């Protein structure tokens, strides 16, 4: 990770040194936990002070923030997104999305999309997939407040399974139950999905999974789907397999800036290689 960080920052500094303007890319950022007090406990957690700096940077550097649904509509129409388009997303539905991130989003008037593992929202125990190290989820009252403030509330499945292992019917049920529950609680439509866990778009199992996924998304009225595959967004992208850029505890402002300038996307092939050849996925 350190090498990835140093190279990305070097690329960013070289880009600015010779006055090349930042690439006109649209970027979706993915956050998980926002922690306060001390160093974040997990690699994909961000310290509150860093998060505040990042939201300030987006605001002061003239980015065009929007929700996933808004950016996906442009991609679907094949339209070029506005220059420096950016989407702030949060996965899972942690309590700290409400207690720590929301006040900053509100302060900076920052649009955002929150993906909920809907079956866990309102539980009194931490999300189970981080082995007891996970944060607690929000309750539905807190989700409602985010929704009323204009934040897009979207689906991250119902139980947070490794979706490529699900049958067509199981996958359909995960998408249907999650969307139904959120819509029932908020009285508003859900349009976007984010898949739990990362799964490579070039894996041999991707084409068959993609076919099941498309069918489940279409039959449940979803209009777009985000992945954990690293990369930026272009008008030619598949709206059912949108790439995102992760933000984690290593993101000081230099690395964050590099990520927004497109100087981190070079790591996407490394991620794909690791996932394709070195990582083992649970058998279906």
Count, residues in the chain: 284
CB of 127 to Zn ion, least distance (A): 8
Helices (H) and strands (E) in the chain, counts: 10, 10
Q: How far is the CB of 138 from Zn ion (least distance, A)?
A: 14
DSSP percent split of the chain into helix, strand, coil, nearest 5: 45, 15, 40
Cβ–Cβ under 8 Å, residues 193 and 162: no
Q: Is 26 helix (H, G, I), strand (E, B) or coil?
A: strand
Q: Which residues contact 170 (CB under 8 A, 6 or more apart)?
A: 161
Closer residue to Zn ion (CB): 108 or 197? 197
Please state the closest distance from residue 163 (CB atom) to Zn ion, in A.
Answer: 11
Closer to Zn ion by Cβ: residue 142 or 157: 157
Q: Judged by CB, which is closer to Zn ion: 174, or 261?
A: 174
Which residue, 111 or 137, has its beta carbon nearer to Zn ion?
137
Which token pair is 167?
A: 């049958």
**Which SS3 state, helix, strand or coil, does residue 225 take?**
strand
Shorter beta-carbon distance to Zn ion: residue 26 or 114: 114
Nearest approach, Cβ of residue 156 and Zn ion (Å): 6
Binding interface with Zn ion (CB under 5 A): 91-92, 196
As measured in angstroms, the least distance from the Cβ of 182 to Zn ion is 15
């Amino acid at each position: 990770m350190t090498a990835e960080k140093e190279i990305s920052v070097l690329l960013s500094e070289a880009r600015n040194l010779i006055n090349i303007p930042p690439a006109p890319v649209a970027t979706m950022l993915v956050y998980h936990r926002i922690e306060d007090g001390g160093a974040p406990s997990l690699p994909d957690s961000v310290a509150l002070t860093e998060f505040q700096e990042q939201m300030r940077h987006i605001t002061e550097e003239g980015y065009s923030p929007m929700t996933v649904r808004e950016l996906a509509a442009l991609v679907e129409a094949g339209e070029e997104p506005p220059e420096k388009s950016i989407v702030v997303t949060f996965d899972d539905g942690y309590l700290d999305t409400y207690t720590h991130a929301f006040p900053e989003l509100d302060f900076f008037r920052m649009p955002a999309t929150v993906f909920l593992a809907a079956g866990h929202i309102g539980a009194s125990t931490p999300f189970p997939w981080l082995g007891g190290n996970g944060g607690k989820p929000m309750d539905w009252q807190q989700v409602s407040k985010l929704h009323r403030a204009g934040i897009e509330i979207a689906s991250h499945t119902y139980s947070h399974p490794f979706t490529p292992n699900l049958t067509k019917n199981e996958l359909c049920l995960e998408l249907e139950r999650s969307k139904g529950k959120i819509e029932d609680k908020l009285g508003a439509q859900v349009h976007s999905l984010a898949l739990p866990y990362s799964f490579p778009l070039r894996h041999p199992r991707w084409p068959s999974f993609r076919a099941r996924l498309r069918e489940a998304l279409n039959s449940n009225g979803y209009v777009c789907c985000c992945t954990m595959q690293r990369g930026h967004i272009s008008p030619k992208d598949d709206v059912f397999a949108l790439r995102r850029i992760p933000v984690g505890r290593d993101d000081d402002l230099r690395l964050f800036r590099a990520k927004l300038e497109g100087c981190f996307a070079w790591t996407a092939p490394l991620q794909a290689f690791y996932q394709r050849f070195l990582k083992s996925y649970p058998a279906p």
